[in-house]
A and B are shown apart, each in its own frame.
Chain A
Amino acid sequence: MRDPVAIVAAGVVTPIGQDLDAFWSSLLTGGAGITRIERFPVADLGVGLGGEIKKLPPAPRRAPECRASRLLLAAASELRSGGGALLARDPARLAVVVGTALGGVAEGERALAGAAGLRTLAGALYDSPARNLARGLGARGPVLTVSTACASGATALGVGAELVREGVADVVVAGGYDVLCRFVMKGFDVLRALTRDAIRPFDRRRSGTLLGEGAGLVLLAREQDAAAGPRLGRLLGHASGSDGSHIAAPDPNGRGLEYSMRAALAEAGVAPTAIDFVSAHGTATPLNDRVETNVLKRVLGRRAHEIPVNSIKGYMGHTMGAAAALEAIMCLLAARHGVIPPTFGLEDPDPECDLDYVPRTPRAARPRIMLSTSAGFGGCNASLVLEGV
């Protein structure tokens, strides 16, 4: 069992809200984040829908033009309200760990199309947005970028917590981001992984996912350092696991996902019977949702059918590197407000996905110990165990 790490504050920028209050409100009221993409051409693609942020928050002075960096900086600005004192304490002991599936590829797209110069191309390096975030925060500690595809946000929180536990940093800004761009839309289009319908996690009619963009960040600190101020919760455990089975598809038996869940619970010192709520990856692809259901049944055992499980991808699309961080933040907000947001888009449950997937309406409940699961291309899987306050 590892020492818990305090989650002091959080910040989000999403298609359904550009701060925690708006994000949470939309999760409860079913705010629609899926729209026709307007920022780049999609007419030649089979699917032109996505969770696009139509207008970014105002950029700080001298902010980089890079959209990914602007998302991160906007999410980080909200951290100051709960964690301003910790953020300002010692820049040399402030670290940044962000996860991304795409890095700055949108910048590369612009530069190679001749719409921007060579400096912009340097922004296409996957670690550039994290560097811009660190610069914006004035952080002089380690700056890490991790990329475990769509599990990146969870990996970042896990690695960030380890920096705190091991004393490499006192305070860590950790989370994930990704932006919609033609590159990724074209890629998923070629794979025929996008639905022409809505995202319907765990539904009998589910036919694929839609992509979204966003950023979610949390402020991590040692328990004793956070004791005096407000906090959202605690990160109890994290683990990542590799499927080692296929370059794109999840392992049909969920090998890596199960490994990550069990290892995260072990690190947290939490028994499966103690889990009150699960935030599932829930992409609404036929295979993912079935595999995830089966793994949850094996890991949670006899209580599996009693534990509420949701997926929030129906609200705003699969935000890739941001998804796991946003879902972790959603868990903490659920604990704080005593409500579990429903699985938006789930109307006709698939008999093969027979857990309590919280359909249609918010559920009054005050979960304390929560499990959040993620998976991505290349057999990347990651799980977080969180405690709300």
Chain B
Amino acid sequence: MKVAGVGVITGWGRGVEALPADAAATAGGRYVVAIPRPAPPGDRLRRATRECLLGIGAVEELLQTVARPASELAGPGTALLYVTASAYGAANRAFLGARGGTLHFPYTAPSAVPAEVAIEYGLCGAYVNFIGGAAATVDALWYAGSLLERGACTQALVLAVETFAECADLYRRARWLAAGPLVEAAACALLRPGGRRAEYDPDPVGVDAARRRTGQTFACEPLIALAVAGGDPAAVAGRWRGRRAGLRRL
């Protein structure tokens, strides 16, 4: 498979150009580097959660990066593979705590983010959501490659979103899960057929390649690493809760 483009937004700003050289130093003691809630035009997304809007924001960034119209994503030919380790946490907590009295229950599901992306861009093809951090993103990239290779789609959009602000107090108490800074991010890669076959690697080297610049972005990390590498790395790899996964000869 070939990487046609990558769109990235993080707590540091838009694109990989906004990434600092050293996330921990630049965070200056902040445990969470958040992205403000985007303000989309129109009324359709008025009930959508922040993480849904970040997902759409990442796709907008991708489209600008590759200079293609949104209409090229529409239809059954584009597969949508979504990944997150934690972006459902805010909505789950809001609903559990009854703080989200106006939160529409379906937005508590992890599938809400890809649902809004699919609605926004008219995607109606193959569709899988993977739960986990960077290793799950590798799984999604592998699965996208499989779909492309067998002609189950003509292009695949692999999207990851991570938000932390609403659960920052919980993450702060659970530092054994992830040391900070936790940097909110949304990233997506558009993949097309061609190039070399990617081989699954259950024990890769070079995990956490982009971590120093990005901070902790969980599932977004391999996609940001793709963007940093100009979309054409020899390999991608990720680690989450002790599990490692990688792809060779991407």
Q: Residues of A at under 8 Å CB distance from B?
A: 2, 92, 100-101, 103, 105, 108-109, 112, 118, 121-122, 124-127, 131, 141-149, 155, 159, 162, 166, 168, 183, 186-188, 190-191, 239-248, 255-256, 259, 263, 267, 376-381
Cβ–Cβ contact A125 & B85, under 8 A: yes
Cβ–Cβ contact B124 & A256, under 8 A: yes
Cβ–Cβ contact A187 & B119, under 8 A: no
Given contacts A118-B174, A159-B143, A187-B108, 19 further A-B contacts (CB under 8 A): A92-B202, A103-B131, A125-B85, A142-B202, A142-B245, A183-B108, A186-B105, A187-B95, A188-B105, A190-B105, A240-B128, A241-B124, A243-B124, A247-B47, A247-B104, A247-B107, A263-B152, A378-B106, A379-B118
Kindly state whether residue B67 has any CB partner on chain A within 8 Å.
no
Kindly state whether residue B93 has any CB partner on chain A within 8 Å.
yes
* Segment at the interface with A among B8-16, B109-117, B204-212, B223-231: B109-117
Cβ–Cβ contact A247 & B116, under 8 A: yes
Kindly state whether residue B196 has any CB partner on chain A within 8 Å.
no
- Could you tell me the distance in whole angstroms from the C-beta of A316 to the nearest C-beta in chain B? 21
Cβ–Cβ contact A242 & B114, under 8 A: yes
Whole-angstrom distance between the alpha carbons of A131 and B109 in the complex?
20
Cβ–Cβ contact B146 & A145, under 8 A: no
Kindly state whether residue B4 has any CB partner on chain A within 8 Å.
no
Whole-angstrom distance between the alpha carbons of A186 and B94 in the complex?
13
* Residue of A whose beta carbon sits closest to that of B124: A244
Cβ–Cβ contact A239 & B126, under 8 A: yes
Whole-angstrom distance between the alpha carbons of A240 and B109 in the complex?
17
Selected contact of B130 from candidates A101, A105, A145, A259, CB within 8 Å: A145
Kindly state whether residue B20 has any CB partner on chain A within 8 Å.
no
Q: Residues of B at under 8 Å CB distance from A?
A: 47, 76, 80, 85-86, 88, 92-93, 95-97, 104-112, 114-116, 118-119, 121-132, 136, 139, 142-143, 146, 150, 152, 170, 173-174, 177, 200, 202, 241, 243, 245
A-chain residues with CB within 8 Å of residue B111 when the two chains form the complex: 147-149, 376-378, 380
Cβ–Cβ contact A245 & B119, under 8 A: yes
B-chain residues with CB within 8 Å of residue A239 when the two chains form the complex: 126, 152
Selected contact of B123 from candidates A242, A263, A381, CB within 8 Å: A242
Cβ–Cβ contact A147 & B109, under 8 A: yes
Selected contact of B115 from candidates A112, A127, A377, CB within 8 Å: A377
Cβ–Cβ contact B200 & A166, under 8 A: yes
Cβ–Cβ contact A147 & B110, under 8 A: yes
> Helix, strand, loop or mixed for chain B's interface?
mixed
A-chain residues with CB within 8 Å of residue B104 when the two chains form the complex: 247-248
A-chain residues with CB within 8 Å of residue B132 when the two chains form the complex: 127, 144-145
Selected contact of A127 from candidates B96, B136, B174, CB within 8 Å: B136
Whole-angstrom distance between the alpha carbons of A245 and B85 in the complex?
25
Whole-angstrom distance between the alpha carbons of A226 and B101 in the complex?
52
Known A-B contacts A108-B93, A146-B129, A239-B126; the reply to A127 vs B241 at CB < 8 A is: yes
- Could you tell me the distance in whole angstroms from the C-beta of B82 to the nearest C-beta in chain A? 9
Known A-B contacts A144-B132, A187-B105; the reply to A240 vs B118 at CB < 8 A is: no
Whole-angstrom distance between the alpha carbons of A263 and B76 in the complex?
11
Cβ–Cβ contact B88 & A378, under 8 A: no
- Could you tell me the distance in whole angstroms from the C-beta of A336 to the nearest C-beta in chain B? 29
A-chain residues with CB within 8 Å of residue B146 when the two chains form the complex: 162, 166
Interface hub of A109, A127, A183, A381 (most chain B Cβ within 10 A): A127
Cβ–Cβ contact B136 & A168, under 8 A: no
Cβ–Cβ contact B109 & A145, under 8 A: no
Cβ–Cβ contact B152 & A148, under 8 A: no
Known A-B contacts A127-B136, A247-B107; the reply to A183 vs B130 at CB < 8 A is: no
* Residue of B whose beta carbon sits closest to that of A105: B92
Whole-angstrom distance between the alpha carbons of A148 and B81 in the complex?
11
B-chain residues with CB within 8 Å of residue A148 when the two chains form the complex: 111, 127-129
